[in-house]
């Protein structure tokens, strides 16, 4: 995909980087623990105990973008499997730059929740030579600008962000480590072919130097640390040992020069062996090792393999990085709390587990295996009428719901019980580095650690409104209270249009039981078999004109709505599924005619230019499934589908020319009716005629 809005992205990054370089960020008075790679190990140890003691853990993620193209935004006409494909594309192409993890523990003595917010900067980088994973990611201008506005520290992220390996990447590295490694160090070298005078001179000089070092071992039983000859070579050699074997350490040579040394060692010296050995500082040492005999080679092979494996294991375990936190949450089987968190979970899966499944059903099954219980606070807010009334006209966004339902926490109010406005509110205290705080100023919104804190507080307050008894039950009991069961493991797939949730345990879509029917919906109920996707039509046509053209031929109530995907494509919702095949077949018929009759048909107005394409909803799914993300939908559709028939139904020539004098539109419509066994056109005044542009 070609970069878009580069100047805007450049300005956003420039402003953010300059702010973090020249304007030191004022630390928020809200107490939270910021974790980078410099303090990750110590922070991880304390987090382990916090999570183990926690009743639940709230999470939040900050990313570099959401939609890789405008048409990949979430639309209400997106079926759940298409919504997942768009979400999958987002998780695969954008990076996670900050993760908030906030364990909450109920303190029965203080009758308050103790929150321990952690704000992790993460930044994936290659820390192992064998790691061939791609580290490319996209940045969405609006998202980068959003982070910059909230003073996100890009320098801290890029320079000090904690790297990580997914389980899939780690498994691949372990498999590579299990492969025979001696072939890399002890393969039989072919006859040396010097290709230049420079190579020949270098090889001769190295041969003499190594020969002199070898002679000192054989004659004197000692290893000379100084060499005669070119003084520039002296600092490149260091006498050392590999185990008990004398060795010559090489440094300051290019890869090509090392290859020449390796070749000459094999050709001219039977008792010397060139090896590459991993070092404790994660560097690779190049050695020329002296062995007693040819029979000693097998022992040397094993010693080198053992040494390399030991340090490779250390490197791999170190490179796992931030995934240790995700493994901790998974292994402790704590209840995970998020707010509109399906995208967060998809990012966690892609970054820390592995490749996202192609089908949403496989995804939710796998997520359910890794996380015992996930509760989305937005699902509860949309599902509980009493909470909806309490929110009133307020948004269910995290910051809005937090301010409305947890006002005393939002302002860090000291006197929880002294103000009648705050009576009945859940008390929350913050603990960082064993120091507790009961009051603070407003935290940094859209900092992942503070957002995770808000999410956990919101959950605790919602539980209180639902009637969950913190005092009379053990943590294991109240988190699994019957009052919460109906919301457990149910997440909205779409991050914008919450028209249905998916059950992580079954993979089924749930609507009515979650109270979704009470929400205001912009569109009428959508039947996906009644949908046609059309693109490439004349750009001057608007939704109302497209609808009028079709209704003149297929009936005044044949089209329910027309929705713009972008300026090049529309979704057309027909009243009945058979009208979809009518339209596709009519389009194909008109385009196949060589005479002037099609021009007189109203639908011909949609086909001018010869670039109009149309498919059913499954075609739309296929387009969304592609990893490509062209900025313009028409370009995306053409690239994915290519030239193909509009309809898979066989064309019928019967009745194309009706003996009864009819208008061209009526003639074509009549032929369509004759080509099917039965067709009924009913004008139903109850059909809702709506659409974004109609």
432 and 369 share a domain?
yes
Task: Say whether pLDDT at 236 is over 80.
Answer: yes
The sign one gets for the Cα dihedral 239, 242, 245, 251 is: negative
Helix (H, G, I), strand (E, B) or coil at 109: coil
Q: Which residues pair with 338 in a beta bridge?
A: 376
Give the domain extent around 131: 6-165+322-495
140 and 228 share a domain?
no
409 and 538 share a domain?
no
Mean confidence (pLDDT) of the chain: 81
Task: Say whether pLDDT at 155 is over 60.
Answer: yes
443 and 355 share a domain?
yes
Task: Please state, in angstroms and rounded to a whole number, the distance separating the CA atoms of residues 9 and 142.
Answer: 8
Structural domain ending residue among the three candidates 288, 312, 336: 312
Please, are residues 668 and 553 in contact by the beta-carbon 8 Å criterion? Answer: yes
261 and 215 share a domain?
yes
CA atoms within 13 A on the CB side of 282: 12
pLDDT in the model for residue 499: 60
How many CB atoms are closer than 10 A to CB 63?
Answer: 23
390 and 263 share a domain?
no
Per the model's pLDDT, the better-predicted residue between 5 and 133 turns out to be 133
* Percent of the chain residues topping a pLDDT of 90: 49
The domain that holds 121 is classified in CATH as 3.30.420.10
Please indicate, yes or no, if residue 407 is contained in any of the structural domains: yes
Chain centroid offset of residue 169 CA: 15
CA dihedral 429, 431, 437, 438 (to 10 degrees): 0
Query: What phi, psi does 693 have (nearest 5°)?
Result: -120, 5
Under the banding of pLDDT at 50, 70 and 90, the label for residue 669 is: low
Task: Please state, in angstroms and rounded to a whole number, the distance separating the CA atoms of residues 484 and 464.
Answer: 11
369 and 290 share a domain?
no
Per the model's pLDDT, the better-predicted residue between 610 and 658 turns out to be 610
Task: Please state, in angstroms and rounded to a whole number, the distance separating the CA atoms of residues 603 and 587.
Answer: 8
Q: What is the mean pLDDT of residues 615-622?
A: 95
pLDDT in the model for residue 173: 87
Please indicate, yes or no, if residue 172 is contained in any of the structural domains: no
Which of 254, 300, 376, 323 minimizes the C-alpha distance to 96? Answer: 323
pLDDT in tens, 620-655: 999 999 998 899 999 999 999 986 545 444 433 333
Q: What is the mean pLDDT of residues 257-269?
A: 90
- Residue 164 has what DSSP assignment? B
Q: Where are the beta strands (DSSP E) in 243-296?
A: 245-250, 272-278, 284-290
Please, are residues 161 and 97 in contact by the beta-carbon 8 Å criterion? Answer: yes
Chain centroid offset of residue 498 CA: 20
Please indicate, yes or no, if residue 604 is contained in any of the structural domains: yes
Cα separations (Å) of 488 from 60, 63, 367, 596? 18, 25, 13, 62
Task: Please state, in angstroms and rounded to a whole number, the distance separating the CA atoms of residues 15 and 149.
Answer: 9
What's the number of domains the chain is made of?
3
Structural domain ending residue among the three candidates 312, 335, 362: 312
CA dihedral 16, 22, 28, 29 (to 10 degrees): -170
pLDDT in the model for residue 595: 64
pLDDT in tens, 103-147: 999 998 989 999 999 999 999 998 877 777 777 899 999 999 999
Please indicate, yes or no, if residue 105 is contained in any of the structural domains: yes
Q: Where are the beta strands (DSSP E) in 518-655?
A: 531-535, 559-566, 569-574, 613-616
598 and 542 share a domain?
yes
DSSP element (H, E) containing 462: helix 448-466
Where do the H-state alpha helices sit in 282-429? 296-319, 323-331, 342-352, 360-370, 377-383, 385-391, 398-405, 407-410
pLDDT in tens, 553-592: 999 999 999 999 999 999 999 999 999 999 999 998 888 8
């Amino acid at each position: 995909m070609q970069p878009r809005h580069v100047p805007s992205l450049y300005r956003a990054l420039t402003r953010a980087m300059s702010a973090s370089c020249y304007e030191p960020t004022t630390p928020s008075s809200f107490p939270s623990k910021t974790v980078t790679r410099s303090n990750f190990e110590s922070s991880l140890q304390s987090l382990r105990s916090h999570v183990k003691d926690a009743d639940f853990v709230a999470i939040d993620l900050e990313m570099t973008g959401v939609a890789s193209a405008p048409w990949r935004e979430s639309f209400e006409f997106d079926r759940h499997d298409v919504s997942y494909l768009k979400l999958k594309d987002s998780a695969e192409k954008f990076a996670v730059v900050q993760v908030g993890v906030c364990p909450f523990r109920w303190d029965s003595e203080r009758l308050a929740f103790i929150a321990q917010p952690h704000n992790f900067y993460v930044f994936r980088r290659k820390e192992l030579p064998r790691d061939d994973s791609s580290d490319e990611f996209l940045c969405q201008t609006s998202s980068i600008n959003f982070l910059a506005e909230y003073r996100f520290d890009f320098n801290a992220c890029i320079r000090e962000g904690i790297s990580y390996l997914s389980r899939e990447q780690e498994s691949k590295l372990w498999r590579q480590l299990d492969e025979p490694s001696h072939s890399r160090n002890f393969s039989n070298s072919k006859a040396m072919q010097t290709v230049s005078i420079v190579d020949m001179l270098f090889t001769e000089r190295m041969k003499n130097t190594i020969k002199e070092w070898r002679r000192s071992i054989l004659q004197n039983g000692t290893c000379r640390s100084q060499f005669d000859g070119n003084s520039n070579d002296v600092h490149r050699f260091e006498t050392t040992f590999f185990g008990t074997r004398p060795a010559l350490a090489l440094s300051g040579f290019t890869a090509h020069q090392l290859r020449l040394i390796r070749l000459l060692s094999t050709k001219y010296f039977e008792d010397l062996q060139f090896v590459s050995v991993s070092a404790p500082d994660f560097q690779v040492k190049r050695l020329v090792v002296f062995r007693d005999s040819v029979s000693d080679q097998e022992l040397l092979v094993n010693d080198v393999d053992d040494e390399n494996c030991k340090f490779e294991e250390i490197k791999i375990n170190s490179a796992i990085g931030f995934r240790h936190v995700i493994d901790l949450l998974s292994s402790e089987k704590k209840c995970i709390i998020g707010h509109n968190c399906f995208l967060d979970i998809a990012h966690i899966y892609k970054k820390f587990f592995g490749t996202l499944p192609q089908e949403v059903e496989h995804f939710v099954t796998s997520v359910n295996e890794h996380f015992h219980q996930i509760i989305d606070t937005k699902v509860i807010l949309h599902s509980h009428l009493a909470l909806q009334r309490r929110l009133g006209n307020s948004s269910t966004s995290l910051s809005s719901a937090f301010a409305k339902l947890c006002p005393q926490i939002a302002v860090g109010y000291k006197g929880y019980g002294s103000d009648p406005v705050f009576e009945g509110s859940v008390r929350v205290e913050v603990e960082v580095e064993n120091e507790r705080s009961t009051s603070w100023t407003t935290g940094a919104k859209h900092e992942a650690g503070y957002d995770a804190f808000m999410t956990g507080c919101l959950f605790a307050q919602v539980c209180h409104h639902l009637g969950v008894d913190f005092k009379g039950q053990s943590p294991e009991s109240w988190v699994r209270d019957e009052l919460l069961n109906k919301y457990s493991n149910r997440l909205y797939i779409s991050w914008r249009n919450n028209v249905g949730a998916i059950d992580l345990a079954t993979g089924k879509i749930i609507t009515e039981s979650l109270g979704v029917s009470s929400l205001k919906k912009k569109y009428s109920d959508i039947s996906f078999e009644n949908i046609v996707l059309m693109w490439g039509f004349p750009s001057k046509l608007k939704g109302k004109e497209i609808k009028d053209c079709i209704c003149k031929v297929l009936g005044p109530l044949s089209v329910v709505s027309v929705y713009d995907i972008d300026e090049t494509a529309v979704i057309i919702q027909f009243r009945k599924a058979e009208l979809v095949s009518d339209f596709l077949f009519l389009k194909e018929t008109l385009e196949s005619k060589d005479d002037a009759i099609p021009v007189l048909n109203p639908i011909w107005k949609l086909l001018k230019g010869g670039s109009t394409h149309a498919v059913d909803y499954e075609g739309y799914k296929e387009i969304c499934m592609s990893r490509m993300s062209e900025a313009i939908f028409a370009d995306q559709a053409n690239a994915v589908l290519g030239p193909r028939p509009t309809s898979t139904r066989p064309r019928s020539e019967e009745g194309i020319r009706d003996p009864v004098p009819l208008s061209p539109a009526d003639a074509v419509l009549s032929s369509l009716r004759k080509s099917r066994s039965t067709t009924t056109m009913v004008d139903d005044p109850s059909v809702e005629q709506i659409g974004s542009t109609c």
